[in-house]
Amino acid sequence: MNPRPGAAQRADLYNRRMKTAKPAATGHQATPAHSADAHERHEHPESAHAHGASQEAALALAEEYCRERGEKLTPIRRKVLELLLNSGRATKAYSLLDEMRQIHPGSAPPTVYRALDFLLSAGLVHRIESINAFTVCHDLTQCQHGILVVCQQCGSVTELHQPKLRQALVAQIEDAGYRLASDEIELKGLCSACQAAGAASTADASAPVAAAK
């Protein structure tokens, strides 16, 4: 009989599950306010089945962790976490509320916000301040990253595990007389997919001009 995995092993397993659970987003919106919420996904039946299986495994691990904390991943909390997993990127609270209302028509804003508050306190999700959105933490709890790179166009988030870099940044910030308001550091940017989409749009726009000459 195999010994029960420890917290670190479960977090590592959850990390891998979360990464495989994130679908690849292929659509890009014109403005950051909408692109953080709406995007288009195309999945083959096989990949969709694998995504569903890994998502269920991640949710099961999240439920187990909550039980060990003496707390409960209630159906509403679980559904909000599931919606964030399915999104695969930073999602705004009102978008989550719209999705919840499709499932539970009577859902009110406080219902979603209370669920998000719980998920934040448990370390299951991050709040992305720069775009006022939420995304799943890939380390389950006690996040070891501390540096989040956020695409300001599509809302995708990459978590970096660079302890020395973070320590150096914090030291410089404190030397300047400041104290961080949160444990996370956000870096704004454009992901490779959005850069490629922008380059393609520029090329398409310039093509008629070049043809006219």
Q: What is the pLDDT of residue 54?
A: 83
Q: What is the pLDDT of residue 70?
A: 94
Q: What is the pLDDT of residue 41?
A: 36
Q: What is the pLDDT of residue 168?
A: 93
Annotated binding site for Fe cation: 145
Annotated binding site for Zn(2+): 151, 154, 191, 194
pLDDT in tens, the chain (213 residues): 444 455 555 555 555 544 444 433 333 333 333 334 433 333 334 444 455 668 888 899 899 989 998 999 999 999 999 999 998 889 999 999 999 999 989 899 999 999 999 999 988 999 998 899 999 987 655 566 678 999 999 989 998 888 899 999 999 999 999 998 888 889 999 999 999 999 988 888 776 655 555
Annotated binding site: 145, 151, 154, 191, 194
Token pair belonging to 117: 């508050």
Token pair belonging to 105: 């028509």
* Whole-number Å distance between alpha carbons of 213 and 208: 9
Q: Which domains does the chain have, with CATH numbers?
A: 7-212 (1.10.10.10)
Q: What is the pLDDT of residue 58?
A: 86
Q: How far is CA 157 from the centre of its chain?
A: 6
* Whole-number Å distance between alpha carbons of 13 and 138: 10
